[in-house]
Amino acid sequence: MERSVTFWFEFASTYSYLSVMRISSAAQARGVDVAWKPFLLGPIFAAQSWDTSLFNIYPAKGRYMWRDMQRICAARGLPFRRPDRFPQNGLAAARLALAAAEQDRIEAFAQAVFQAQFGDGADISAEPVLLDCLHKAGLDAALIDRAQSPGIKSALRGQTDAARAAGIFGAPSFTIGTELFWGDDRLEQALDHAAARTI
């Protein structure tokens, strides 16, 4: 049985930033492979009659989250800057991530996008920002066109449907078989569970 974890992340998610920046090294230390799965929380939230992040719906929770992010990023040596608008529209970034995956560069691209958004406070729905992220990930600007292809659009819809079917309700989430772990603070637990599977 393969030791692997499926990593579900959303580009609008603050805590996904934390996991994107560390999952590979943590998984490698345990001999676990990572399958990167960008998806969209919007449709999942809409099914619950939410039209925005719960951090906006519950202001006290939102205030706590931003302070929590400041503390964690400082402790981990990660840059952090709160973007002017939250949550951001991560649709174009998610499509580009799937295009980057075709060239085995999804991790580098995802890290560039999250650093732009939560490290620099940039608008990740803006094409110039995404072009810069492609450049930082060593990818060609032509992927902007590839990301608009029917195949990529269909793949992202399919991954979002798969996330919903897996019972995912937030990001980041990690699945190993039918086991679901939610949140950056459950990353180690998820990886340990994957590592303990019998090969």
Q: In Å, what is the CA distance from 76 to each residue of 21, 71, 80, 122?
A: 10, 9, 11, 21
Name beta bridge partners: 38: 9
Q: For residue 153, how many C-alpha atoms fall within 13 Å in the half-sphere facing its CB?
A: 5
Domains delineated in the chain? 4-195 (3.40.30.10)
CA gap 82, 194 in Å, rounded: 33
Amino acid 186 reads: R
pLDDT tens for residues 81-96? 999 999 999 999 999 9
Give the residue numbers marked as catalytic. 13
Q: Residue 176: pLDDT above 80? A: yes
Residue 52: pLDDT band (50, 70, 90) is low
What is the pLDDT at residue 198? Answer: 54
The answer to pTM > 0.85 is: yes
Residue 54: pLDDT band (50, 70, 90) is low
Name beta bridge partners: 6: 35, 175
